[in-house]
Amino acid sequence: MGTPMERNIKILKRESTALLLIDIQEKILKVMHSQDQVVNNSLKLIKGFKVLNLPIFYTEQYPKGLGTTAEPLLKELEGLSPIQKMSFSCFGAGNLFTRLRDNNVSQIVIAGIEAHVCVQQTVLDLLANEFQVNVAADSISSRSEMDYKIALDRLRDHGAEITTAESILFELLTYSGTDEFKEISKIVK
């Protein structure tokens, strides 16, 4: 008998995955490249993670100056509290990394801004702490397209999985034909 077949260990698993939305705030969002795409795809992720009953965390960088999380996202995040931070990396956002580990989260899906600052530093710190990081490339941005592209290249070079919101949701579903599949299919349309 041969060795049993296995799925790739990088495929997201429900029991170990959480969503982290980084600083998608009103005042800074206005100057982002592809801001509508970031909001729309972040909404898909939030709604999909809610359908799948998976943990969602979100941060706000210096909300006094940058405002709160964008209104369309806040409506979907009702009942959750933002993790406020002054550090660029979410590594400095209180005990967030410890909370993730304590909840058996080892795979993190990332959406947010800016790709080359807070997102990049957070992803590098998560990787340094042995989390698998899946960056939803269509759910992050920077003010300039060049900063966005260089950040994605750097994160890929350091071991982050670069993917899309829709790909993430279908990876977590695993199977078609379920009620969850039907709900998520409506979300991504």
pLDDT, mean of residues 125-147: 97
Residues serving a catalytic function are 23, 85, 118
Q: Show me where the domains of the chain are located.
A: 15-188
Q: How confident is the model at residue 157 (pLDDT cuts 50, 70, 90)?
A: very high
Q: Which residues pair with 141 in a beta bridge?
A: 113
Query: Exposure of 178 by Cβ count < 10 A (0-12 exposed, 13-18 middle, 19+ buried)?
Result: exposed
d(CA 158, CA 140): 17
End-to-end CA gap in the chain: 44
* CATH code of domain 15-188: 3.40.50.850
Asked whether the beta carbons of 141 and 35 are under 8 A apart, the reply is yes
pLDDT in tens, 19-52: 999 999 988 988 888 989 999 999 999 999 999 9
Q: Is 0.85 surpassed by the pTM of this model?
A: yes
